[in-house]
């Protein structure tokens, strides 16, 4: 499959105006993607849990305009106009115009809100771009009367499959990890020789056996630092271009994803913990050994990690952690251990969170269309 599969034929319908609302969650990578080629193509495959409570809700209003030479849109976050978001949306629209040729025909009003702090290391770009991609695909569905290019018959199971994969493909061009938020509960992005259907172009549902031990897995996010990230994801990914350990890292990610296939099949939580914690620390090690180098953990991040290790050692409960490219800690654990782990978090870890704030989340199943009264 190539990018050509997502270029539509002439639309059959003409629509003057309308609106759509979608919510889309964030996701947390277990095997991390760090480093990319041109056009948002990952240097290594990744796999992630889709979240549920940490999400973005976006309403896209659109109306036909006379001047169709340029993109026209306004962006609002929590009701406030955000012109500083416009360059990123402009870049996104430029990247996807060939796949959504109607973009210059309309003025768009993009109204968005998050259930978590913006730019705090909970991948707001992933949930935001995936929600916007779903709204734009809903517009295309209207314009095409639900008919996709003929390639659908050859490359996709159904129109819904085409809709989701194209939305993931588009979201990737806005934010790489956004392509993993369209569906759930376990999503692979990046071609891997042992995972059928995996692709660099979009995220796909994990296709193999997934043990009950990992169903309804919990993710409590400890907000160590709710401020803006010191290093943007784009800058961080670019550091991998000349990184002395880059090729070994890409090989390691492929090997860890291969190991997870058997782990997900067998339900071996101890082996699962070993891989995801190693992946989290490796991600930060790559940033600490790049030029320029960065330390994105905070002292409280390390305190939390050590507390988790001690708790696991003393209780035998399979509580673990992972990190994104920031200071916050994702505490991962099975559903059956919720009571014990939450008590541990409240008694021993909340003190290390900014203003005592944390978010309880659970593995979810992707974006949802919402019906909003006008």
- Per-residue pLDDT, 157: 86
Tell me, yes or no, whether 348 lies in a domain.
Answer: yes
- Same-domain pairing of 136 and 32: yes
Tell me, yes or no, whether 374 lies in a domain.
Answer: no
CA distances to 33, 124, 166, 301, 325 from 298, rounded to whole Å, are: 22, 20, 38, 5, 12
CA distances to 76, 126, 132, 280, 345 from 284, rounded to whole Å, are: 33, 20, 29, 7, 23
- Same-domain pairing of 194 and 222: no
In CATH, what number is assigned to the domain containing residue 219?
3.30.70.890
- Same-domain pairing of 267 and 186: no
- Same-domain pairing of 206 and 216: no
Residue at a domain's end among 210, 236, 261: 210
Residue at a domain's end among 182, 210, 238: 210
Element (H, E) at 186: strand 186-189
Total domains in the fold of the chain: 2
Tell me, yes or no, whether 369 lies in a domain.
Answer: no
List per-block mean pLDDT (blocks of 10 residues) for the chain, which spans 374 residues.
Answer: 91 96 97 96 98 97 97 96 96 98 98 79 83 98 87 78 97 97 98 97 98 97 84 89 97 98 98 98 98 96 98 98 95 98 98 95 97 72
- Same-domain pairing of 46 and 169: yes
pTM of the model: 0.96
- Per-residue pLDDT, 152: 64
- Per-residue pLDDT, 9: 87
Tell me, yes or no, whether 88 lies in a domain.
Answer: yes
- Same-domain pairing of 232 and 330: yes
Angle CA 180–202–270, to nearest 5? 45
The residue segments making up the domain with residue 201 are 3-210
- Same-domain pairing of 238 and 112: no
In CATH, what number is assigned to the domain containing residue 155?
3.30.230.10
Tell me, yes or no, whether 262 lies in a domain.
Answer: yes
Going by C-beta distance under 8 Å and a sequence separation of 6 or more, which residues neighbour residue 237? 34, 35, 36, 176
- Per-residue pLDDT, 64: 98
- Same-domain pairing of 315 and 204: no
- Per-residue pLDDT, 334: 98
Strand 368-370 to strand 17-31: parallel, antiparallel, or no bridges (unpaired)? antiparallel
How far apart are alpha carbons 120 and 93 in whole angstroms?
A: 25
- Same-domain pairing of 200 and 222: no
Please give the structure tokens belonging to residue 159.
């129109």
Residue at a domain's end among 178, 210, 242: 210
- Same-domain pairing of 35 and 142: yes
């Amino acid at each position: 499959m190539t990018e050509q599969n997502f270029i539509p034929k002439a639309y059959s319908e003409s629509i003057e105006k309308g609106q759509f609302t979608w919510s889309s969650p964030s996701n947390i990578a277990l095997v991390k993607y760090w480093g990319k080629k041109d056009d948002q193509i990952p240097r290594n495959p990744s796999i992630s849990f889709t979240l549920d409570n940490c999400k973005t809700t976006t309403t896209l209003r659109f109306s036909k305009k006379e001047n169709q030479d340029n993109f026209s849109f306004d962006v609002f976050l929590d009701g406030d106009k955000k012109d500083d978001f416009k360059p990123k949306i402009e870049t996104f629209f430029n990247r996807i115009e060939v796949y959504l040729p109607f973009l210059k025909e309309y003025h768009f009003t993009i109204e968005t809100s998050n259930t978590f702090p913006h730019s705090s290391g909970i991948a707001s770009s992933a949930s935001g771009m995936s929600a916007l991609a779903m709204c734009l695909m809903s517009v295309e569905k209207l314009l095409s009367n639900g008919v996709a290019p003929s390639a659908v018959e050859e490359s996709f199971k159904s129109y819904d499959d085409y809709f989701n994969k194209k939305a993931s493909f588009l979201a990737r061009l806005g934010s790489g990890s956004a392509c993993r938020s369209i569906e759930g509960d376990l999503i692979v992005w990046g071609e891997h020789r042992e995972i059928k259907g995996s692709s660099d172009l979009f995220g796909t549902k994990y296709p193999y056996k997934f043990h009950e031990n990992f169903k309804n897995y919990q993710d409590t996010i400890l907000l160590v630092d709710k401020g803006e990230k010191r290093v943007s994801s784009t800058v961080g990914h670019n550091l991998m271009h000349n990184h002395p350990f880059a090729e070994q890292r890409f090989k390691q990610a492929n090997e860890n994803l291969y190991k997870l296939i058997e782990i997900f099949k067998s339900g071996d939580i101890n082996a699962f913990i070993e891989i995801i914690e190693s992946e989290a620390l490796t991600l930060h090690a790559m940033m600490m050994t790049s030029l320029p180098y960065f330390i994105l953990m905070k002292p409280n991040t390390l305190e939390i990690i050590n507390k988790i290790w001690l708790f696991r050692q003393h209780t035998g409960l399979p509580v673990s952690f992972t990190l994104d490219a920031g200071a916050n800690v994702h505490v991962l654990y099975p559903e059956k251990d919720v009571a014990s782990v939450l008590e541990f978090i409240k008694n021993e870890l909340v003190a290390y969170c900014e203003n005592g704030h944390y978010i309880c989340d659970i593995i979810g199943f992707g974006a949802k269309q919402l019906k909003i009264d006008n």
